[in-house]
Structure 1
Amino acid sequence: MPFPALPATLLAALTERGYAEPTPVQAAVLQPETAGRDLLVSAQTGSGKTVAFGLAMAAELIGEAERLPPPGAPLALVVAPTRELALQVQAELTWLYGPAGGRVVSGVGGTDPVAERRALARGAHIVAGTPGRLRDHLERGNIDPKSIRVVILDEADEMLDMGFKEELEAILETTPAERRTLMFSATVPRGIAQLAKQYQRDALRISAGDEGAQHGDIDYRALLIAPHETERAVVNALRFFEARASLVFCRTRATVTRLHGNLAERGFAAVALSGELSQAERNRALQGLRDGRARVCVATDVAARGIDLPDLGLVIHADLPTDPETLLHRSGRTGRAGRKGTSVLLVPHNRRRAAERLLQDARLRATWGPAPSAEAIHAQDDARILVQALEKTGEDAGDGDLALARKLLEDRAPEAVAAALIQALRAPLAAPEELAAVTDRGPAGPRVPREAGPNQEGVWFRMNLGRANGNADPRWVLPFLCRRGHVTRQEIGRIKVQDRETQFEVAPWAAERFAAAAQRPGDEEDAHIRIFPLQGGAVIESPLRRPPLRGPRPALEQIRRRAVR
């Protein structure tokens, strides 16, 4: 379906950008019944909302004319939750309204307000900005509200979640009552509904597509991993899914810093985004991704709000999202504007139930499986390298290159030359990580109490530290065993600290998993701690239980500190 009747200048801009037909949300806001009405629109992220509201307000800005009048007091305000999103809106509306003589100015926090005031004084048709800065410009008289015909709230639900209710109300109360108000929101919770009722007039409710349905362009993968192998799993996921640009989400700034450093050490072209960075630093990081100098961005949720990277093909949730909305928001950074994307959740096996509940609440279906192994990545590398090598040998070579090749083949066997080419193609690739095997036992199902009865005996192990040679104490031994053996606290039973060793009990359903994980080399600081099955003389007479922890006792400080984190 082609675009309906629009000013010729806007149609020309759409054609130049490759728009042959409108997306569902763009078609919905251009229906005849929407003309002149306030709109409350819900649509999936990445569905073309910016162009949609740009087209929706064309009648108020241009009317029947071909071009906009000379820039003066703004005709439209676009309010967005973050600086990045506001600047992206400015860029989108600039190309859309550029042929019509439109001038779009930004007003965002973290930039020079004096420069913005000068830009506003030179005149603008549209101002796109963040709630706090736009309110400040209105209160200082830098924006004359009397001429404003349209106010657009982009990602209104995000702005309420971020605590901008007071700023939004101030902006809506300052602008003319007869203005047209368009609210665009991924969801319409109670707060948005109340805001619409208070500040919109007989708003037309539009749901573009099946609200809450799974995004058809995003492939969701849930990868089971061993606890404390998240960073290694991130490496393998980046290597296996091999996107031109990837976004890795972490919960805290400290995790972003650590993971970014580890990825850089492993050879990834990575940048970091967190709230502590200045706007200039964030802009440089994003520009690095856009121009290809960086391929991985490690970010917190706050820093990544509103990011739009056209080539973003992979989102990795290094830390599980805390709620369905965050999961949808993170994943919605990929699969935008008709492009395909992959959203990968790294799920420690002891958090599978939480991940299943999260996906269910978000109405998403994911493909479950183990994280990519080093063997699988090597096999995929071989296939890709073979294609690359064939492509390179198929290129037209000049006479000089052919002569050099013949000379090379005089001294080296063809197999050796081909092997050198393969080595050169493999050299830039980061080495995959060896991951602990995790068995996918299917959906967790209803929780079943794991209390062992008198006839359900545990499996006993021992480690080579005791009171005399390691200051062993259950206070640090218990979390250490959980970390080293990839088990939970409920799966460790009695702990017997002896003079030269410590014996402990593992639940029978977790013993095989514990034994496999415990035999793997530990971290550098605890590599000297060895764990063995207890052989002979072990009599198990009581059910699994843990005695109360005794008072603190000096232990190996580094291991204790890490164990209790």
Structure 2
Amino acid sequence: MSNFEGVSPALVTALSNRGYETLTQVQTDILNPDYSDKDLLVSAQTGSGKTVAFGIAIAPTLLDGEDKFLFAAEPFALVVAPTRELALQVKRELDWLYKDANAVICSCVGGMDMRDERRALSRGANIVVGTPGRLRDHIMRKSLDLSKMRAVVLDEADEMLDLGFKEDLEFILDEMPTERRTLMFSATVPAMIAKLAKSYQRDAVRVEAKGEEKQHGDIEYRALSVSGREKENAIINVLRYYEAKNALVFCNTRASVNHLVARFNNRGFSVVALSGELSQNERTHALQAMRDGRARVCIATDVAARGIDLPGLDLVVHAELPSNPETLLHRSGRTGRAGNKGVSALMIDPRGRKKAERILRFAKVEAIWASPPSADEVIARDEERLIADPILNDPIADEEREFIDRLMGQFSPEQLAAAFVRTIKAGKSAPEDIEQVAFDTPRERGNNDRGEREPRPSRDEFENVQWVSLSVGRRQNAEPRWLIPLICNAGGITKRQIGQIKMQNEETFVQLDGDHAEKFFMTLGPNNTLEKNITVKALDGTPTFKQESFLKPEERERAPKPANKKGFGARKPRGDRQPQSFDKAGSNDGAPSKRGPKPAADPSTKEGWAKKKPKGAKVKKPKSNAGRTKPKF
């Protein structure tokens, strides 16, 4: 009992039955005897036990010296949360916390039948939990009486302001008695939160949970570099590598959620979706499927997953980068809760590398930069889990003995072991072969404290150099901007392994990193062809560059431009094109126009020129529409 000093006796039993041995830091800080009757502005990171914290903080105010609630009539406390899921989650937490205090707790959230909520409120409640919009509706319809309110809690206040609930919150707070306790909980305290606190709190005490400077110490952040086309395969390997009891995959849009749900369902994962387009009933069923084990992967948007708490959530995957550091922390805070360990994996393609580095830096998070797990690593991890599985060490039960003896007599141990392994693998999705994309980490690039990057070394400073000649040059209008991607794709190298490019009239000389030259020619194949008629030839030493004059436009030939992924954009050589002609109407029938050329006008004879009217001639003015009646319709 000494570990729960300051907690109301009715709540101590509930904490002990729940398995609490000690309180978290924010729960201990909020129980300071000096704060017993004060308004509080509390900032603490997600997963720190804020719901239990404000539950035990308002208990003395609500019970008023009693051990239990004697009856339920007008509510004494109101808890406001930004989303339906968070409000229902808060209600579940308060249900077990106030169970021995005989508290009646009602929820008022959007998406539920308002008539049922009105009937529940009419029967009486001690605590009401709801979302801003639905609570305002009940207040305006006179179904929620705030006259006896002793305390109000604004949970995730920063998120409610971000979602546009400022007017609803002000309306609710204006309708409450002035003599009340107001507790505001927020992960961050921006200017808008401080302004709201100043307007609706009386001499509020600012409480910052100790240890808050170390963000998410129980979460391992991993920044995984992957190409854009391999991102979904990389997520599959991450899910297979960790095999978390529950995993949460975040997307930025509903369309992305629907796409990943379809893809992962096809791969054999038990998946549910959580997005704003779903009804409340569908969202409730999705979360319940995660809690009872029918689903193991939840794909969600930021708003839908705000504040949800899933048991055994060991893995958070950011399929798309969050927009800001606060969103990163809120997403990742779904795991590593209440002292448990968790992993937060960010899928980063080369184009999003700078944004990812900036978000991690401002979030004050140290991430491990690596590549996604390969197929071999996933298989090796499966084998480690299989060998360590306790099922292999469990004693044989008496009812199993007879059938085991039959199997041993009919099959060899190798056959039984093979059947066991195949059975285990049959229920798992096969890992994907991923093209590894490696780029330098911020530390390897030498980032200083301000995040500035040291100058990159010149690409022509290769230790080993290999010059090659391409059979295309200025005469074919060859350009480095489409030659470089062509060389990289056909030769399996990156642009960092390409040095100088020297254009000549009939050919192009390209400098390659000699350490990758052998791989380059092996990837090209025996014909050493980039595309169509563009061939590559290795040179010994440095070629001699001729001082050639630029060709006139009529001397140039257009080289066959490479097509894009969809097959569009390919350019035929000029010599292969057929002349086209158009008749007067603009149609092209492939034949010369029947009309001859129009004779040029002769200024000397003034033929073809507009005739001038003699002086004094009357010029007819165009008739105006004045006086005309409008047509009747």
Check whether TM > 0.5.
yes
Secondary structure of 1:246's match? Answer: strand
Question: What is the Cα deviation at residue 371 of structure 1?
Answer: 1.1
Contact 1:436–1:517 (Cα < 8 Å) also in 2: no
Partner of 1:525: none
Contact 2:6–2:31 (Cα < 8 Å) also in 1: no
Partner of 2:94: 93
- 1:425 is aligned to 2:424: yes
Partner of 1:13: 14
- Using a 3 Å threshold, how does the CA distance of structure 1 residues 2 and 510 change in structure 2: closer, same or farther? farther
Secondary structure of 1:223's match? Answer: strand
- 1:60 is aligned to 2:61: yes
- Using a 3 Å threshold, how does the CA distance of structure 1 residues 459 and 228 change in structure 2: closer, same or farther? farther
TM value normalised by structure 2? 0.75
- Using a 3 Å threshold, how does the CA distance of structure 1 residues 283 and 517 change in structure 2: closer, same or farther? farther
Secondary structure of 1:248's match? Answer: strand
1:538-557 equivalent positions in 2, closer than 5 A: none
Q: Distance in 1 between matches of 2:515 and 2:137?
A: 59
Secondary structure of 1:57's match? Answer: helix
1:352-363 equivalent positions in 2, closer than 5 A: 352-363=353-364
Contact 1:476–1:560 (Cα < 8 Å) also in 2: no
Deviations 1:300-344 (A, max 9, x none): 111111211021110011111111001000000001112111111
Secondary structure of 2:147's match? Answer: helix
Question: What is the Cα deviation at residue 354 of structure 1?
Answer: 2.3
- Using a 3 Å threshold, how does the CA distance of structure 1 residues 181 and 256 change in structure 2: closer, same or farther? same
Partner of 1:319: 320
Question: What is the Cα deviation at residue 391 of structure 1?
Answer: 2.5
Partner of 2:441: 442
Contact 1:107–1:127 (Cα < 8 Å) also in 2: yes
1:127-206 equivalent positions in 2, closer than 5 A: 127-206=128-207
Question: What is the Cα deviation at residue 294 of structure 1?
Answer: 0.5
Partner of 1:406: 405
Question: What is the Cα deviation at residue 403 of structure 1?
Answer: 2.9
1:249-264 equivalent positions in 2, closer than 5 A: 249-264=250-265
Q: Distance in 2 between matches of 1:479 and 1:166?
A: 54
Question: What is the Cα deviation at residue 205 of structure 1?
Answer: 0.5
| Letter aligned with residue 272 of structure 2 | V
Partner of 2:554: none
Deviations 1:96-146 (A, max 9, x none): 112111111111111111221111111111111111111111122111111
Contact 2:75–2:127 (Cα < 8 Å) also in 1: yes
Secondary structure of 1:395's match? Answer: coil
- 1:118 is aligned to 2:119: yes
Q: Distance in 2 between matches of 1:293 and 1:317?
A: 23
Secondary structure of 1:346's match? Answer: strand
- Using a 3 Å threshold, how does the CA distance of structure 1 residues 413 and 30 change in structure 2: closer, same or farther? same
Deviations 1:35-74 (A, max 9, x none): 1100000111111111111111112210111111311111
- Using a 3 Å threshold, how does the CA distance of structure 1 residues 488 and 30 change in structure 2: closer, same or farther? farther
Q: Distance in 1 between matches of 2:355 and 2:120?
A: 49
| Letter aligned with residue 537 of structure 2 | Q
- 1:41 is aligned to 2:81: no
Question: What is the Cα deviation at residue 554 of structure 1?
Answer: 12
How much identity, in percent, do the aligned residues show?
A: 49
Q: Distance in 2 between matches of 1:165 and 1:330?
A: 23
- 1:331 is aligned to 2:309: no
Contact 2:8–2:56 (Cα < 8 Å) also in 1: no
Partner of 1:395: 395
Q: Distance in 2 between matches of 1:73 and 1:458?
A: 84
Q: Distance in 2 between matches of 1:504 and 1:116?
A: 77
Q: Distance in 2 between matches of 1:516 and 1:69?
A: 85
Structure number with higher relative contact order (C-alpha < 8 Å, ≥ 6 residues apart): 1
Contact 2:493–2:520 (Cα < 8 Å) also in 1: no
Secondary structure of 1:55's match? Answer: helix
Question: What is the Cα deviation at residue 560 of structure 1?
Answer: 5.2
Question: Which has more radius of gyration?
Answer: 2
- Using a 3 Å threshold, how does the CA distance of structure 1 residues 25 and 269 change in structure 2: closer, same or farther? same
- Using a 3 Å threshold, how does the CA distance of structure 1 residues 72 and 109 change in structure 2: closer, same or farther? same
Partner of 2:582: none
Deviations 1:233-258 (A, max 9, x none): 10111111121000011111111111
Partner of 1:221: 222
Contact 1:462–1:531 (Cα < 8 Å) also in 2: no
Q: Distance in 1 between matches of 2:387 and 2:268?
A: 22
Q: Distance in 1 between matches of 2:363 and 2:313?
A: 22
Contact 2:493–2:516 (Cα < 8 Å) also in 1: no
- Using a 3 Å threshold, how does the CA distance of structure 1 residues 225 and 122 change in structure 2: closer, same or farther? same
Deviations 1:493-540 (A, max 9, x none): 99x9xxxxxx9989979988x9699989xxxxxxxx999983359989
Secondary structure of 1:2's match? Answer: helix
Aligned CA-pair RMSD:
4.1
Q: Distance in 2 between matches of 1:486 and 1:517?
A: 11
Contact 1:181–1:200 (Cα < 8 Å) also in 2: yes
Of 521, 527, 536, the residue aligned with 1:534 is: 536
Q: Distance in 1 between matches of 2:357 and 2:533?
A: 33
Q: Distance in 1 between matches of 2:158 and 2:258?
A: 29
Secondary structure of 1:182's match? Answer: strand
Partner of 2:583: none
Deviations 1:331-375 (A, max 9, x none): 000011121111111122443332222111000111221111111
Q: Distance in 1 between matches of 2:115 and 2:55?
A: 27
- Using a 3 Å threshold, how does the CA distance of structure 1 residues 174 and 478 change in structure 2: closer, same or farther? farther
Partner of 2:626: none
- Using a 3 Å threshold, how does the CA distance of structure 1 residues 511 and 105 change in structure 2: closer, same or farther? farther
1:209-358 equivalent positions in 2, closer than 5 A: 209-358=210-359
Q: Distance in 2 between matches of 1:257 and 1:504?
A: 48
How many residue pairs get aligned? The number is 535
Q: Distance in 2 between matches of 1:119 and 1:504?
A: 81
Secondary structure of 1:147's match? Answer: coil
Contact 1:256–1:274 (Cα < 8 Å) also in 2: yes
- Using a 3 Å threshold, how does the CA distance of structure 1 residues 266 and 176 change in structure 2: closer, same or farther? same
Deviations 1:264-304 (A, max 9, x none): 11111111111111111111111110000110111111111
Secondary structure of 2:229's match? Answer: coil
